[in-house]
Amino acid sequence: MDARPLSTREQRAWESYRRMQGLLASQLNRQLVQETGLSDADFAILTALLGAPEHRLRALALRCEVQWEKSRLSHHLTRMQSRGLVTREDCPEDSRGAVFRLTEAGRAAVEGATGSRVAAIRSYLVDVLTPDQLDALAEISEAVLGRLAEESPHRHALAELARPV
């Protein structure tokens, strides 16, 4: 790795990205909680399950999907179970594994929150960028995700995230 100090241009790009990412994530989460009662973490898990076959995923697949540590996912899923958003089932292929399924309440919650999430993304990101800037943002994100995938122990999951949508 190259440890040279960042140039003024590089430092500006990094600091702008870092501030934007933090503030955008915070604003999107705050708005989602206020409007729907779901956190970003809830929304990420519910969205992953909604898109999965039969709305169910093994814990490891869900962990790769949301890119969380095992303990964080386990604690969050326990809280979501207590709220009736997901259920935990034994894995038929592996008695040590668990499968998480989206409940009807979870499905209703994520489907109800999707409009709010899209409106917030439009307001804070999409509508303030030109079409060329949106394309550049997608290309930049895919390039960085591709690099991260090369060095990750979860290469295969990250490689999927790096592919253009």
Say whether both 90 and 149 belong to one domain. Answer: no
Within a domain: residue 97?
Answer: yes
Helix H or strand E encompassing 16: helix 8-36
Q: Of 21-25, 110-114, 145-149, give the lowest mean pLDDT range.
A: 145-149
Question: Which residues have C-beta within 8 Å of that of residue 102, sequence separation ≥ 6?
Answer: 46, 49, 50, 52, 55, 56, 85, 86, 110
Identify the pLDDT of residue 157. 56
Domain count, the chain: 2
Residue 162 above 60 pLDDT?
A: no
**The whole model's pTM is what?**
0.82
**How sure is the predictor about 151, in pLDDT bands with cuts at 50, 70 and 90?**
confident
- Return the C-alpha torsion angle 16, 19, 25, 31, nearest 10: -110
Residue 7 above 60 pLDDT?
A: yes
Say whether both 100 and 137 belong to one domain. Answer: no
